[in-house]
Amino acid sequence: MNKSLICPRFEKAMNILSQRWTGLVIYQLLSGPQRFCAIESAIGISGRVLSERLKDLESQGFIKREVFPETPVRIEYSLTDKGLSLEPLMRDIEKWSQTWLDIETSELDE
């Protein structure tokens, strides 16, 4: 068997970014710190899956979770420097998608 000629770091990056919803969570947080419910409603993800993604991204250093000792407790999620460094990539994907991808009318209703 031939060993993969793909750089292991590139492969790891693609594995991280290709996880379902991960790119959309990062893209949503580019606009600044947000609460769980705002992220959930903006991208239409279930709370359970969003919670998993946020934990994964936090453990990998892409986002930070900040708890504000208020009543009720307020929790906000934001991108770290590592997460913010993905902005040019996300903007390039956004630009590419607007140029090359058509959207079906039925996809807008989802």
CATH number at residue 69: 1.10.10.10
Burial of residue 63 (CB within 10 Å: 0-12, 13-18, 19+) is buried
Percent of the chain at pLDDT above 90? Answer: 82
**Residues whose CB is less than 8 angstroms from the CB of residue 47 and which lie 6 or more positions away in sequence, other chains included:** 36, 40
Is 21 within a domain? yes
Rounded to two decimals, the pTM is 0.85
Is 109 within a domain? no
Place of tokens 């956004």: 94
Task: Assess whether pLDDT exceeds 50 at residue 13.
Answer: yes
Q: How confident is the model at residue 48 (pLDDT cuts 50, 70, 90)?
A: very high
Is 32 within a domain? yes
Segments forming the whole domain that contains residue 85: 9-99
Query: Average pLDDT, whole number, for the chain?
Result: 91
Sheet (strand 63-68) strand order: 34-35, 74-79, 63-68
For the chain, what is the domain count? 1
Is 108 within a domain? no
Give the tens place of pLDDT for each residue, 61-99: 999 999 999 999 999 999 999 999 999 999 999 999 999
Is 95 within a domain? yes
